């Protein structure tokens, strides 16, 4: 018999009275780092809280290694959770806080202090672990939350908006730690509504919108979903109207528009359009400052998917 998957949801729904959290979600993963994407209110936190065992599904199943985290203590011990909003005991030091939470997570009392110190050190908090939490900055609180989420060496990590409010140095430390956890065989779910943050962490994504899964898998594969949607190419140059006039007659060019000294070309054949732009600027000697594609990013994929869903398009 095959081993149970680290995470599996089967026709899982959660609602709060008349408010829908997630709706009929069926999804599973074999592990690694997965980016959970969606705008605010999409259902990301509900999804994570169901996995953490903090919420009970209204319908369907939500399991970690085959067991419900809502009912199984053993399943919950295999999970580390870093919430978006914390209610920390501010009068404790960072070390005291993480030590207490380590004990609650099953770390033996005689080892909890050293284990907590090691977790804080890995998150760059060694120099501040003996200070009271109430004096911590937002970034320091985030790193402390991540330390407590990893202190008991869980198999599954649930990180809800872990990069919010952190400075660039802390951001790099957190990203490096998340990547290392994934490389070590852990299953890590990282939620965010900031797309470039996810791109820095992983290529595997799960897109949630209005409580439903819109897309899942490798971002490069999902990128192919917009191949039938016109691609935009932005040409920042000195004579944008001359470029527009030269390309508008091409069969693959859908439309052109102007934006702050640039021409934005929408095309159904990006490769052919790049060749055409190259020929035009050379033949007409038009200096170009930059040539970019706003659609060649995870942000464009996300925008297209959510816009398509919201409009009811197939």
What average pLDDT does this structure show over 156-162?
A: 93
pLDDT in tens, 91-115: 999 999 999 999 999 999 999 999 9
Residues 284 and 161 in one domain: no
Mean pLDDT of the chain: 87
Can you give the pLDDT at residue 172? Answer: 84
CATH number, domain containing residue 151: 3.40.50.300
CATH number, domain containing residue 285: 3.30.70.100
Instruction: Give the separation between CA 214 and CA 212, rounded to whole angstroms.
Output: 6
- Cβ-in-10-Å burial (0-12, 13-18, 19+) of 268 comes to middle
* Residue 307 counted as domain residue: no
Q: At what angle do helices 109-122 and 94-104 cross, to 10 degrees?
A: 130
* Residue 299 counted as domain residue: no
Q: Look at residue 185 and give its three-state secondary structure.
A: coil
* Residue 104 counted as domain residue: yes
Residues 252 and 184 in one domain: no
* Residue 132 counted as domain residue: yes
Q: What pairing do the DSSP bridges indicate for beta strands 187-192 and 204-209? A: unpaired
Can you give the pLDDT at residue 34? Answer: 95
Residues 138 and 22 in one domain: yes
Q: What pairing do the DSSP bridges indicate for beta strands 187-192 and 32-37? A: parallel
Residues 122 and 250 in one domain: no
Can you give the pLDDT at residue 209? Answer: 85
Nearest to 222 by CA among 37, 27, 15: 37
Residues 126 and 29 in one domain: yes
What average pLDDT does this structure show over 37-64?
A: 92
pLDDT in tens, 241-277: 999 999 999 999 999 999 888 999 999 888 899 899 9
Does the structure show a pLDDT above 70 at 313? no
Residues 262 and 211 in one domain: no
- Cβ-in-10-Å burial (0-12, 13-18, 19+) of 180 comes to exposed
Domain extent for 41? 7-222
What average pLDDT does this structure show over 54-78?
A: 94
Domain boundary among 181, 203, 222: 222
CA 123-127-133 angle, 5° bins: 80
Residues 139 and 236 in one domain: no
pLDDT level of residue 166 (50, 70, 90 thresholds):
confident
Secondary element (H or E) of residue 279: helix 270-283
Secondary element (H or E) of residue 173: helix 168-183
Number of domains in the chain: 2
* Residue 303 counted as domain residue: no
Can you give the pLDDT at residue 115? Answer: 97
Does the structure show a pLDDT above 70 at 302? no
Residues 244 and 137 in one domain: no
* Residue 309 counted as domain residue: no
What average pLDDT does this structure show over 109-127?
A: 94
In 16-167, alpha helices (H): 44-52, 73-77, 94-104, 109-122, 138-150
Does the structure show a pLDDT above 70 at 223? no
Question: Can you tell me which residue has the tokens 């284990």?
Answer: 115
Can you give the pLDDT at residue 297? Answer: 60
Can you give the pLDDT at residue 314? Answer: 47
Residues 263 and 185 in one domain: no
* Residue 109 counted as domain residue: yes
Residues 285 and 156 in one domain: no
Most confident residue range from 33-42, 96-105, 168-177: 96-105
């Amino acid at each position: 018999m095959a081993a149970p998957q680290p995470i599996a949801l089967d026709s899982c729904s959660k609602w709060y009275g008349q408010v829908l959290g997630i709706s009929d979600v069926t999804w599973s993963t074999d592990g690694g780092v997965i980016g959970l994407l969606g705008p605010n209110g999409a259902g990301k936190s509900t999804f994570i809280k169901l996995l953490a065992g903090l919420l009970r599904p209204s319908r369907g199943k939500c399991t970690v290694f085959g067991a419900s985290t809502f009912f199984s203590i053993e399943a919950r011990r295999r999970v580390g959770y870093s919430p978006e909003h914390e209610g920390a005991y501010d009068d404790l030091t960072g070390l005291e806080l993480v030590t207490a939470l380590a004990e609650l997570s099953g770390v033996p009392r005689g080892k909890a202090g050293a284990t907590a110190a090691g977790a804080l050190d890995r998150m760059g908090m060694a120099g501040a672990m003996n200070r009271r939490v109430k004096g911590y900055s937002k970034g320091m609180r985030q790193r402390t939350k991540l330390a407590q989420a990893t202190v008991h060496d869980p198999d599954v990590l649930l990180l809800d908006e872990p990069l919010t409010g952190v400075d660039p140095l802390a951001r790099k430390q957190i990203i490096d730690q998340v990547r290392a956890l994934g490389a070590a065989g852990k299953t890590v779910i990282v939620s965010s509504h900031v797309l470039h943050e996810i791109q820095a962490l992983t290529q595997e994504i799960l897109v949630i919108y209005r409580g439903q899964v819109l897309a899942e898998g490798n971002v490069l594969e999902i990128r192919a979903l917009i191949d039938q949607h016109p691609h935009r190419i932005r040409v920042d140059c000195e004579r944008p109207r001359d470029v527009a006039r030269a390309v508008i007659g091409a069969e693959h060019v859908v439309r052109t528009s102007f934006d702050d000294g640039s021409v934005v070309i929408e095309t159904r054949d990006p490769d052919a359009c790049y060749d055409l732009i190259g020929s035009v600027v050379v033949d007409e000697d038009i200096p170009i400052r930059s040539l970019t594609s706003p659609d060649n990013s995870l942000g464009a994929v996300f925008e297209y998917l959510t816009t398509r869903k919201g409009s009811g398009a197939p």
